[in-house]
Amino acid sequence: MKEDDKHVLIVVAQGVVPVLVRLLDSTSTSEIKEKTITVIARVSTVDSSKHVLIVEGLLLLHPLLRVLESTPGFAKEKACVVLHSLSFTKENARAIGSRGGISSLLEICEAGTPNSQAIAASVLRNLASFADTGNNFIEVDAISVLLTLASSGTVLTHEYSIACLRKIHKSSDIIKINPTYEL
């Protein structure tokens, strides 16, 4: 699967994604979780197989958000890769925002590796695209973290954090009313 997208498509066609979702949700060992998330992340990078993950969306979100909260760095980064693919739909974005995902992603933005910061910021940018999630960003004080991220890190991280700030500004009446949050 690592080398060829055709192998990913074959595995997806065989119905492996629901099995991986159940495995991710049921396993307790970090090694198995890490390997499972790595395979799911690989599936999420192949455009023609993303739809299968979106179908599993809400079932997959819960274990992914638990990984963000409690699992070591590499698995968190891979979970962010999957969340990036899932965060393009309104339903998934709302679920991520309401289940504490924004806080977990902000923690990665503060303390993760440069690559994981960029991926987490891209997920936050996707989430901010939906008006329903704008106030979730305000509730967890995301503005200060995103401003810090916009002035440090990689170029890609800067782009994603600034895009996220713009989208939050567009969608949130709180920022428009409160001058302390002027961008």
pLDDT digits (tens, 9 = 90+) for 50-67: 888 888 888 899 999 998
Q: Is the pLDDT of residue 130 over 50?
A: yes
DSSP 47-115: GGGHHHHHHHHHHHHHHHHHHHHHS-HHHHHHHHHHHHHHTTSHHHHHHHHHTTHHHHHHHHHHHS-HH
In a domain? residue 94: no
What pTM, to 2 d.p., does this model score? Answer: 0.87
In a domain? residue 181: no
Instruction: State mean pLDDT over 8-29.
Output: 86
CB atoms within 10 A of CB 31: 9
Q: How many structural domains comprise the chain? A: 2
Which one of 37, 69, 86 terminates a domain? 86
Contact criterion met (CB below 8 Å) for 113 and 154: no
Q: 167, 37, 165: which is closest to 106 by C-alpha?
A: 165
pLDDT confidence of 102, banded at 50, 70, 90? very high
In a domain? residue 93: no
pLDDT confidence of 1, banded at 50, 70, 90? low
In a domain? residue 138: yes
Domain that holds residue 11: 1-86
In a domain? residue 100: no
